[in-house]
A = this chain, B = another copy of it.
């Protein structure tokens, strides 16, 4: 699993958004969903994903339940109420950033 340096700063937002789009998800499922939606362009590394999930939980944005499925432990994450508000705010920030960055990248090249 290798990632994109551009990912920096957006991982938490991606996680929160996915958990807004689906009631509950577990870590591995998140990596697969991101891979699917980005058509392979964004691959989350476990070294980034799990610490990020733990931090979001420690911050009170996510809560967890563990289940054994097919003999393997799965840790399901779900948004807390606090997390629900955070999604809204993070999405607004991320959307503004995307728009501003897009404006910069759309500047016309100098004629030379």
Give A residues with C-beta under 8 Å from B. Answer: 4-10, 13-14, 17-18, 20-23, 34, 37-39, 41-42, 91, 93-98, 100-105, 107-110, 112
Contact = CB atoms under 8 A, between A and B. Distances in A.
Main secondary structure of the interface of A (DSSP, over half): helix
B109 A21 contact: yes
A6 B109 CA distance: 25
Contact of A41 (B4, B100, B105, B109): B100
A38 B103 contact: yes
Given A6-B94, A8-B8, A98-B98, 7 more contacts: A4-B97, A17-B107, A22-B110, A38-B104, A41-B100, A42-B97, A42-B101
